[in-house]
Amino acid sequence: MAQSTDKNLANQSGANFRSELNTILGAITSNNSGSSEPSGTKVAYEHFVDTSTTPATYKIRNAANDGYITIGTVSTNLGLAALSGATFTGDITLNAQSDVRFADSDSSNYVALQAPATVSSNVTLTLPAADGSANQALKTDGSGALGFASYLLLSETTNGQTVTGGVRANIVTLSDGANISYDMDDGNNATVTLGGNRTLDNPSNVTVGQSGSIFIVQDGTGSRTLSFGSAYDFASGTAPTLTTAASAVDRIDYVVRTTTSIHCVFTANYS
């Protein structure tokens, strides 16, 4: 460890010259190491090892010659990430939608993960502490904590799907109004309580082959009527007459034949 006040050799006797030269050479070979910055005249890009830290810190004078830039600690690889692998103790930020890439065995192709183009606020997803069971999938609790959960599995057979366990379709509650809308993407089954004489409009998002039931409920007054959009087809082309008693329940079972033809069967007055 050595430092020198400057790197200029003054005119002097041979012994003094030799002593100062050895001091300067010692400072150079030890990278001006010391517990404080080298004194005297400094030059841009001068090296300095600060021994006041543990481990010591390797620094270099900046281009403006007005301060030192810390390169890293005087330890393995200067504390920098090694190309062959590294352990990080802090957060890692990849800017501008940069990828984390996982290369295949010969590094010819990769699988990448990246952030979406726009994130309105910071999102942290916390992985589960242990692996799940076979055929489970990751789910979120809505607050960023991920975990494993079981889902209904469909095992394909030659002619279709075999389902083990019960399959249940929700019943969508339609909003009452002069014109009642039904988005078939919301569910196969629907229910509506009539508060007046209404029209059930042609549904949206109609998919051929969908089937289900529509429950029509009279309110506490009763005597409500219901007209149907042109897509609802009944036997003999005749729309049904609802049960008019207060709180009465009728049901229409349907199968979508085409996007403009929904075959319906009406059953009245369930108690």
pLDDT at 10: 72
pTM for the structure as a whole: 0.48
CB 190 within 8 A of CB 182: yes
Helix (H, G, I), strand (E, B) or coil at 183: strand
pLDDT digits (tens, 9 = 90+) for 175-234: 999 999 999 999 999 999 999 999 999 999 999 999 999 999 999 999 999 999 999 999
| Domain parsing of the chain, residue ranges | 14-79, 171-270
pLDDT in tens, 108-143: 999 999 999 999 999 999 999 999 988 889 999 999
Identify the sign of the CA torsion 181, 186, 187, 191. Answer: negative
- Please answer whether residues 180 and 216 qualify as being in contact, where contact means their C-beta atoms are separated by less than 8 angstroms: no
Between CA 127 and CA 135 the distance in angstroms is: 17
